[in-house]
Amino acid sequence: MNVRLIEARELPEKISIDDVIDSIIHGDCLDVMRRLPSEIVDMVFFDPPYFLQLPKNKRLIRWYVKTVVESPEEHWDMFSSWEEYDRFITDVLREVRRLMKPDATIWAIGTYHNIYRIGKILQDLGFWILNDVIWFKTNPMPNWLNVRFTNATETLIWAVRDKGSKKYIFNHEYAREFSMRDFGSKISLNVWRIPISRGEERLKDENGKRLHPTQKPEELLRRIILVSTNPGDLILDPMSGTGTTGVVARRLRRHFIMIEREERYVRASLKRFHR
């Protein structure tokens, strides 16, 4: 079946899985999720705004080439305070949890800016953390000012819906394969070496600039999906940006539901399926 682009406002008050399976929904994730039935998804990839709090209009200049360093200083990354950010993340995660099957897992990703808050909120809502997995970026953007370390990692928190969940999927043979490839290790380590999205994979806008500041690498989603789902499973990405989750899910024969508020990302996601 072809991937569909659906306008949230055209969906019924009570949405069924058939209405939205294998589609990209253009709309607000809270509005859409509240209309979906409970306990329908097997895995969730949760990649919310980072709330970087860069001062408005301030841009970092790479002095050596005098180009602007792109960062997620987009309006979707703006919140008035930590309280507002926490409230937003809490509301979204509460709804996500309701949609998860009892043994479903969630992967939440973030940087030092937001991941600690997300971890606390996950625990407060009753999720049970299984691991953190460190994504080590083999090609990070250097901190040229030398005022702090170059930030070369993002943290993934992998959690089950409830403390008692025992039948969640962990395809450990893949976990071992990733560690062997990254470190020559026979045991499944919680560190993954993956470059940031680049080259052909990186989506560009009409001016040839990066379309999205935080597009995730397909290899990251490939590992997440292989290790924690089986073919035919349903994956939810409530803030899907450029659609990385769905593109990789389809390739690996999993189903997906993606929701994204920004029209330009939704359109680019759809095109991505036909590249």
Ligand X SMILES: C[S@@+](CC[C@H](N)C(=O)[O-])C[C@H]1O[C@@H](n2cnc3c(N)ncnc32)[C@H](O)[C@@H]1O
Please report, as ranges, the residues that interact with ligand X according to CB under 6 A: 28-30, 47-49, 76, 212, 214-216, 239-242, 244, 259-262, 265
Determine contact, residues 45/235, Cβ cutoff 8 Å: yes
Report the residue number whose CB is nearest to ligand X: 241
CB of 54 to ligand X, least distance (A): 15
For ligand X, give the closer residue by CB, 119 or 241.
241
Give 210-214 contacts, CB < 8 A, sequence gap 24+: 210/70, 211/242, 211/264, 211/265, 211/268, 212/241, 212/242, 212/265, 212/268, 213/70, 213/71, 213/72, 213/73, 213/74, 214/47, 214/50, 214/72, 214/241
CB of 237 to ligand X, least distance (A): 7
CB 12 → ligand X: shortest distance, Å? 19
- Shortest reach from residue 248's CB to ligand X, in Å: 10
Residue 179 or 215 with smaller CB distance to ligand X: 215
Q: Which is nearer to ligand X, 30 or 130 (CB)?
A: 30
Nearer to ligand X, 139 or 185 (CB): 139
